[in-house]
């Protein structure tokens, strides 16, 4: 069976995602579409609107055949590490092709990655963010500027792919409908996830949403309680953590560098709500996404040796269709990483301990049981 891979957050799953899955199958002729999906927390350091099981189910009903969770230590990282983790998992599953959305699908991302030199030491300055400095260098070298989210990820995929011993074929497809950060609902049925989240979380309970999402997602919107990216409860937990944790312990949190620990602790003492806290810690040096990720790291007490690339990876199966199960049966013995189908006490204490802590945080926020009470979702699509 021929497989094609996609990488997504599905936050939530919408018509554009369904189109992406359809295009991935069409342009490659694949029998099976494998999605590597973020778990309960997404790349910008926020809680997903619905838990990973709900989002995996939405995907499996709308074109995906196999959904694998991108581990926390990859999912809540900058774009280049997010891309690296996803490519490693697809490579381990012997997927030959990645199809990804792009704002400029005609761009030769592999050539762009090859033409640039990413020297992190060159960006050691306190006056601008890494992204700003990197883009200035990229534009000076190639004339191209990475300022669209999917293009940035496409570049990340190309860089990560170049480091694999057996690189995948990268196939960009045009993003359709609204722009990534567009907050207005699109009457043609292709609104951004941002617009859909804002509408749903604005307590409109599906107004103007039905035409923009598959029926499974709409059912979740209507009948389940969506979770805000940084809810008052999540902020309260973070504030308590920052106030109670000694500065020496806070300093050990992943990416807590250059006095950021003191800055966060001081702001937690003086700011009563999340938006004011975030504004108080913002500087030109750090993007909002970077700050949100660091705050999430603090909430789950993520340390360097748990987050830096190179630790043990695994294939956490969230669900599969009949076709996905056939692919697993045919290839799982030659996968390059161990498959995890059921959570147990050993995994809780070892390989998946960080994912367990993240899952418990989401369970506290949502009241929805996560890892221990779930087996992979099975959908018969014969």
Q: Residue 67 pairs with which residues in a beta bridge?
A: 35, 319
pTM (2 d.p.): 0.91
16 to 10, 12, 30, 211: CA distances (angstroms): 10, 11, 19, 12
Q: What is the pLDDT of residues 131-177, one digit of tens each?
A: 555 656 666 666 666 777 888 899 999 999 999 999 999 999 988 76
Q: What is the pLDDT of residues 316-371, one digit of tens each?
A: 999 999 999 999 999 999 999 999 999 999 999 999 999 999 999 999 999 999 99
Based on its alpha-carbon atoms, the radius of gyration of the chain, rounded to whole angstroms, reads 20
Contact yes or no for 284/258 (Cβ under 8 A): no
The answer to whether 10 is a known ligand-binding residue is yes
The answer to whether 18 is a known ligand-binding residue is yes
The answer to whether 223 is a known ligand-binding residue is no
Q: What is the pLDDT of residues 102-141, one digit of tens each?
A: 988 888 888 888 776 454 444 344 444 555 556 566 666 6
Domains of the chain listed by start with CATH number: 3-227+311-379 (3.40.50.620), 232-307 (no CATH)
Q: Residue 7 pairs with which residues in a beta bridge?
A: 36
The answer to whether 99 is a known ligand-binding residue is no
The answer to whether 208 is a known ligand-binding residue is no
The answer to whether 186 is a known ligand-binding residue is no
Burial of residue 285, with CB atoms counted within 10 A of its CB: 0-12 exposed, 13-18 middle, 19 or more buried:
middle
Closest C-alpha to 37, from 60, 19, 15, 16: 60
pLDDT at 184: 75
* Mean pLDDT of all residues belonging to the chain: 89
């Amino acid at each position: 069976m021929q497989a094609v891979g996609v990488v997504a957050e599905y936050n939530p799953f919408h018509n554009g995602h369904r189109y992406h899955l359809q295009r991935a199958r069409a342009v490659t002729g694949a029998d099976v579409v494998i999605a590597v999906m973020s778990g309960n927390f997404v790349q910008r350091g926020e809680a997903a609107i619905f838990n990973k099981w709900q989002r995996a189910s939405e995907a499996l009903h709308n074109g995906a055949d196999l959904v694998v969770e991108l581990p926390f230590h990859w999912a809540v990282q900058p774009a280049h590490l997010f891309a690296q983790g996803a490519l490693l998992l697809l490579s381990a599953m012997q997927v030959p092709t990645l199809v990804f959305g792009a704002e400029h699908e005609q761009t030769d991302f592999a050539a762009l990655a090859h033409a640039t030199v990413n020297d992190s030491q060159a960006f050691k300055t306190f006056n601008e963010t890494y992204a700003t400095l990197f883009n200035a260098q990229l534009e000076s070298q190639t004339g191209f500027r990475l300022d669209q989210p999917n293009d940035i990820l496409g570049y990340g995929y190309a860089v990560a792919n170049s480091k694999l011993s057996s690189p995948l074929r990268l196939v960009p497809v045009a993003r359709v409908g609204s722009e990534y950060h567009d907050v207005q609902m699109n009457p043609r049925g292709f609104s951004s996830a941002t617009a859909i989240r804002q509408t749903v979380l604005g307590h409109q309970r599906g107004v103007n949403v039905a035409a923009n999402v598959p029926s499974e997602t709409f059912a979740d919107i209507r009948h389940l309680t969506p979770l805000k990216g940084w809810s008052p409860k999540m902020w309260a937990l973070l504030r308590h953590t920052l106030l109670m944790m000694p500065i020496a312990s806070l300093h050990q949190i992943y990416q807590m560098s250059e006095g950021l620990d003191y800055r966060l602790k001081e702001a937690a003492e003086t700011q009563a709500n999340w938006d004011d806290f975030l504004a108080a810690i913002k500087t030109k040096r750090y993007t909002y996404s970077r700050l949100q990720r660091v705050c999430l790291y603090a909430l789950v007490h993520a340390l360097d040796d748990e987050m830096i690339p190179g630790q043990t990876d695994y294939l956490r199966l969230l669900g599969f269709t009949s076709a996905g199960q056939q692919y697993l049966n045919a290839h799982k013995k030659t996968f390059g990483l161990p498959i995890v189908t059921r959570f147990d006490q050993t995994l809780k204490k070892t390989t998946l301990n960080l994912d367990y802590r993240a899952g418990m945080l989401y369970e506290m926020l949502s009241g929805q049981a996560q890892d221990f009470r779930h087996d992979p979702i099975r959908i018969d699509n014969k």
